[in-house]
Chains A and B, each alone.
Chain A
């Protein structure tokens, strides 16, 4: 099947800086594709090139198999939901949604019918006569999507559209966006710096850094099997060390960190004497009262609780081991550690395959 959107060796330079450096990817029809990266990584540049507001320095952009490089933005079968939505404040909701249809020279009746249909679809029937500033943030969001979807684009681009919403609404809109995408059955390309948005909604995520794609994969891939140190550090939280490999046994490495801690971690293509970066997620570290409970883990430490960071389900404990190293450990909410307090001695442990290590310079 031809992908809905395909970027081939896309490069964009602004003077001396390369904003997008040889990026290639393809998005299969009907899927939700996210580009995730810190601000300034070039993700907005990619999106603007796809929409047609910027010309790539080199490379090709194909939609449904055909190159769109020579097609101006108003003729591309791509529509965009802007970061601040960019609804037209001088028009009513119905005029906003009907704008693109009017541009196509559709008849009045048909426009009215399509606009009503779109409003039904986003669950806001009968608001067509209202002004843009009479709507709430979430409603505006849906109108912005409907305004694009009435045009039945091959690809819908979304540029951090949830950025301006408050936390609760953002959580709600994540689910809603995914549902809208399924309802419209259109390819969504979503860019964001918020990993939770990307992880919750996407079929495929590309993690971008400094103009390049670090890794493309499903949320699970990125979280459980990060391919580069950047991905390991960017997705989720991690305790991280720098160290040297003392022994390599197949996929398991025996390492010693620069601070003197010995540990075992999973890593491929590394050999004895290599420098490495090690990442261990706080949620993969097991907390226990005694060393016996941790006997099945390759890595075990004894330490003191230096602080409790309460954050509901995401609460953490900071544990300082005998060497003075501080590790972040997720505090299980099952009740057994409810009485844990500062100064307590605890045992922590984690499996070698839960610790990722990568070669470092």
Chain B
């Protein structure tokens, strides 16, 4: 009996161990090793920190690194600002069928691939696109308007892509807030703002933090949206990783970039948790 349960335990655990080992641990260890070597001549490598030195001294790399970080934080903040009222409406104001329909509407864009969704934005926003034509037709513009390839467009794309991942945790936490607690907030003299600040937001904090973490990571690691909607100037850090690995075949520098991105996201997530005084355990479970 004991023996059997031991086998069952091992069987149950093995997928997790395989997953952790094969997909996370081994690739990352290998990446780390690659990032720590330098090619001195054909087929000869030496261990050194050159790649990191290069990454941290070359202004283009550094600038892209920080830009990606700041833009991702910004995208997360904008997503939160837009998603919160949406989630509040779905969770607290909409009733019954409407609630389900609205929730589905948030989900539907995710039925198609991210690539197709991004092309959708391009159809809308390009020079000969729908918005441009509409502006000309109404007389607001006297020539075709190019709305693509700017930071703002890229931001729109990032927010749109991340929306669902913010709305879902927010709806879940807001739904668990008893209506009478909100009413009690008003009953005892609170106004809309103070009820929001003292009751609704503290209650929704786990959802806010987990939503922000997911959205931030998605934005930071996004490749498609910045590449397709962003301009020449809005280079994303993932594009640089891609360039090093695929275009330049410089795996060493690419791996170093990858590690920098990992460290950056870890630091920002940790900072976010510290700032809100939460532990990862509370937020995720």
Q: Range of interface residues on chain A? A: 20 to 34
Given contacts A84-B178, A90-B203, A99-B198, contact A74 B189 (CB under 8 A): yes
Given contacts A89-B203, A99-B198, A103-B194, contact A151 B188 (CB under 8 A): yes
| Residues of chain A lying within 8 A (CB to CB) of residue B191 | 74, 103
Interface string of B113-155 (1 = CB under 8 A from A): 0000000000000000000000000000000000000000000
Given contacts A86-B178, A90-B199, A90-B202, contact A100 B183 (CB under 8 A): no
Residue from A83, A90, A104 in contact with B189 in the complex, judged by beta carbons closer than 8 Å: A104
Tell me, yes or no, whether B45 is within 8 Å of chain A by CB: no
* B205 smallest CB distance to A (angstroms): 8
| Residues of chain A lying within 8 A (CB to CB) of residue B184 | 80, 82, 86-88
Residue from A72, A78, A88, A147 in contact with B181 in the complex, judged by beta carbons closer than 8 Å: A88
> Cβ of B199 and Cβ of A83 under 8 Å apart?
no
- Bound-complex Cα distance A104 to B191 (A): 11
- Bound-complex Cα distance A55 to B246 (A): 67
Residue from B180, B188, B198, B202 in contact with A147 in the complex, judged by beta carbons closer than 8 Å: B188
Tell me, yes or no, whether B186 is within 8 Å of chain A by CB: yes
| Residues of chain A lying within 8 A (CB to CB) of residue B198 | 88, 90-91, 99
| Closest residue on chain B to residue A95 by CB atoms | B198
| Residues of chain A lying within 8 A (CB to CB) of residue B189 | 74-75, 100, 103-104, 151
> Cβ of B180 and Cβ of A99 under 8 Å apart?
no
| Residues of chain A lying within 8 A (CB to CB) of residue B202 | 90
Interface string of A68-108 (1 = CB under 8 A from B): 00001111001110111011111100000001100110000
Ordered by A's residue number, 7 sampled pairs between the chains whose C-beta atoms are within 8 Å are A53-B183, A74-B189, A78-B187, A80-B184, A88-B184, A88-B185, A90-B203
Interface of B with A (CB < 8 Å)?
Answer: 178, 180-181, 183-191, 194, 198-199, 202-203
Interface of A with B (CB < 8 Å)?
Answer: 51-53, 72-75, 78-80, 82-84, 86-91, 99-100, 103-104, 147-148, 151
Q: Which 3 A-B pairs have the closest CB atoms?
A: A103-B189, A100-B188, A90-B202
